[in-house]
Every structure is written in structure tokens, then in C-alpha cells.
Amino acid sequence: MLDTGHLLNSDPTVADEQSAVALVLKRIAQLSPQVRTRIEGVHLNLSLSGDYQRQAQAAGIPARFAEHPFDEQFAIARDHVAEIDQHRPFTSPCCQEIIAALRPRVVTHELLMRSRDELERHLLTQYRALNGGC
């Protein structure tokens, strides 16, 4: 399984969709054919969190974090992770190139949402990107 968002989070210099697709394709090309063919599924999502990662790293752990009750620590950590691993939809049809390079059996649209309506909008956005021309 390849999670595109997790891969993108590994390079905080990626700032836009075109460079995101380019990075994923570069990493796929670096794989041996034996490894590439074993990737049977893709968790397709976009994460462009480099600015946040740099700011969070510079800021360090929130003041008095250890003094918060566990549930507050958990909420702070969950929100931090959500800022890094954004699970946004691709909007550029160039994301098709990722699917074409791997030919996975399964594509999971792994997207975050706050409501059913938002989920439908995100799914439609990414579906259109996958079916448009690059």
C-alpha cells in the first residue's frame, strides 16, 4: 500500500500539487520493478504541510504540555497530526500519473472531512481530477 500523503509529508519542501505529483512519481521510479508490482493499493490524498511542519518544529512542544490532562494532550497531538497529514483531495488531473505508474488494484480516497457534504465535495473533486486530462 502506498499512502501518497504520508510520502509527501516526508518532504516539507513540496509546496504545490505539481511538485507533489512529481515527488511521488520520482519515488515510484526509484523502486525496483519487483517492489513496484507489489504495491496493490494506493491511499490517494494530498498533503502540503511543509510550512506548518517548519513552524511547529521551530515552536517546539507547547508550553506546559505535560501538565495537561491526558485527554487534552491527546487532542493537541491529534490536531497537530491532522495539520501535518492533511488528507486533502487532489485537484490536478496530473494525479492520474500516479495511478498510471502503479496500476493498483485498489484506490482508496483517504480524505478528511467534517460532514457528509464535505466528504461528497472532496470525493467529487478528486474523482474529477482522476478523470480529467493532465
- Residue-wise pLDDT for 3-27, tens only, equals 999 999 999 999 999 999 999 999 9
> What integer pLDDT is reported at residue 16 of this predicted model?
98
Q: What does residue 97 show for φ and ψ, rounded to 5 degrees?
A: -65, -30
> What integer pLDDT is reported at residue 132 of this predicted model?
85
**What are the tens digits of pLDDT across the range 36-54?**
999 999 999 999 999 999 9
Q: What's the whole-number mean pLDDT along residues 79-88?
A: 96
Cell numbers describing residue 41: 493499493
| Closest listed residue to residue 125, CA positions, set 70, 61, 113 | 113
> What integer pLDDT is reported at residue 8 of this predicted model?
98
For 30, residues 6+ apart whose C-beta sits below 8 A from its C-beta are: none
Q: What's the whole-number mean pLDDT along residues 98-120?
A: 95
Residue reference for cell 509527501: 8
**In whole numbers, what is the pLDDT of the chain averaged over residues?**
96
Please answer whether residues 62 and 24 qualify as being in contact, where contact means their C-beta atoms are separated by less than 8 angstroms: no
Does pLDDT of 133 surpass 80? no
Percent of the chain, pLDDT > 90? 94
For 70, residues 6+ apart whose C-beta sits below 8 A from its C-beta are: none
Q: What's the whole-number mean pLDDT along residues 89-100?
A: 97
Burial level of 34, CB count in 10 A (0-12/13-18/19+)?
A: exposed
Q: Domain coordinates of the chain in residue numbers? A: 2-49+85-131
> What integer pLDDT is reported at residue 106 of this predicted model?
98
Spatial distance between the Cα atoms of 119 and 117, rounded to a whole number of angstroms: 5
